Amino acid sequence: MRQQQFVLASLFLCSLFSVCAWATDGNELIGIGAVQKGTAGAGVAAPQDAMWILLNPASIIALERRVDVSAEFLDLYRGAEPKGFPLIVNPTAFELADHGTIFVPSVALVWPLKVGTIGFGMLGTQGNNADFDRSRTTWPFSRGNDRRSDLQVARLPISYAYQFDNGWTIGGSIMPLITAFRTDSLTLQLRPTDGNYKREVGFGIGVQLAVYKEWERLSFGATWRSRQFVEQYKLYEEPIRWNLDLPEVIQAGFAWKVTDKLQLLADYKFQHWSKLKQFHNPTIEGGLGWNDQNIYKVGAIYTANDNWIFRAGYSRGNPAVDEQHIFANIITPAIAEDHFTFGFTRKLTKNSDFHFAWTHTFPEDRVDDGTGDIFSKLGKGSRVQYEEDAYTFQYTYKF
């Protein structure tokens, strides 16, 4: 009874908090929870905790019954310097800065059955947040707005994994999600949005399919997450011309147990932004001009003894926003490329563990080259900067 109360209390606690993450695989966190973050999100072939219901739902077949609760704190710096044609671009904006801390909770449960394994959870996975104190555009158009944007996404996967006699496992998830969005950016008619920075909640859904296979020293995993369809925001039909769907994701990788103590991981991740009109279409059509991302992740797991496990990882990928769309993305600057992570696990009792991870997103500084559409030409020379340190704490209880 006490175990069931603990699980229910954890889920309820998670639901009390808003999920607001400025994330870094486009606008998605590079990993969920301290264990995944410790290897920079690599590990699609190396299941370690219940958060793998999102990374690879097939791989949860290898896990015991457990609940994992994670709390992540993102220490973010976002800078901007609008430049360009002074009748449009605010000449008094100068150097803008937004520095703050954001809290991201997640909780997940894995439960082996007589046939297969199930899992479910509530995971803070992605979003963006920028709140500058001055507008990027001039007062006649912005009227003091055009300086803030806030997207929050929580996924609630319901997963199942089944293993065949030959050792191959297939898995899948139904993926409901909840989003919250608000902005005060301008519309294509260069006037403030009617939403006026009021928060609006939207619901969406998608599916995920995955495979997993483990041999003596080597394991393989791959997953495909469908496009996540999100309902249209009624307050933001302008400037959000199309549904703010989330992209199709493919991730595949290998894990190699070099020794009984050392395991190496290598993953490839693809984010398909070009299929989403709102994110990919040219700015002049109302989109953001985001590009597809190819992301490469490597990680290492070292089991020192029965009580301590250490992790490190590195993730590198092309940014979603290129130099032709910097001005248009001043309040949505998805420009991060490189991340280094370090983490550890400390066994507390026979049934419980504590995990920690530190993630450093290397500073990025990009300037609009003015070679894009009319907004790029008007905002030529505009600069955005981004840097992040994340601290993730996680508790595991096995029962």
- Map residue 131 onto helix, strand or coil: strand
Dihedrals phi, psi of 130, to nearest 5 degrees? -145, 135
Confidence of residue 285 (pLDDT cuts 50, 70, 90): confident
Confidence of residue 24 (pLDDT cuts 50, 70, 90): low
Q: Which of 122, 148, 153 is nearest to 245 (CA)?
A: 153
The pLDDT tens digits of the residues spanning 115-139 come to: 999 999 999 998 888 899 999 999 9
Distances (CA, A) of 235 to 145, 150, 182, 198: 16, 14, 9, 8
Q: Which domains does the chain have, with CATH numbers?
A: 2-398 (2.40.160.60)
Give the separation between CA 320 and CA 335, rounded to whole angstroms.
Answer: 6
Q: Which amino acid is at 241?
A: R
Q: Which residue has the higher pLDDT, 255 or 5?
A: 255
Q: Which of 200, 274, 276 is nearest to 241 (CA)?
A: 276
| pLDDT value at residue 14 | 36
The pLDDT tens digits of the residues spanning 363-379 come to: 999 999 999 999 899 99
Give the separation between CA 173 and CA 157, rounded to whole angstroms.
Answer: 6
| pLDDT value at residue 160 | 98
| Helices (H) then strands (E): counts for the chain | 6, 16
Determine the average pLDDT of the residues in 241-253: 93
* Token pair of 380 as six digits: 């030529």
| pLDDT value at residue 221 | 98
| pLDDT value at residue 356 | 98
pLDDT at position 22 over 50: no
Dihedrals phi, psi of 15, to nearest 5 degrees? -70, -15
Give the separation between CA 196 and CA 47, rounded to whole angstroms.
Answer: 43
Length of the chain: 399
The pLDDT tens digits of the residues spanning 178-218 come to: 999 999 988 878 888 888 899 999 999 999 999 999 999 99
Mean pLDDT value across the chain? 91
Place of tokens 């009792």: 349
Contact 190, 224 (CB under 8 A): no
| pLDDT value at residue 395 | 98
* Token pair of 238 as six digits: 């302008």
The count of C-alpha atoms lying within 13 angstroms of the C-alpha of 346, restricted to the half-sphere facing its C-beta, is 6
Determine the average pLDDT of the residues in 44-70: 98
In degrees to the nearest 10, what's the CA dihedral of 46, 391, 317, 175? 60
Contact 109, 7 (CB under 8 A): yes
Give the separation between CA 108 and CA 10, rounded to whole angstroms.
Answer: 9
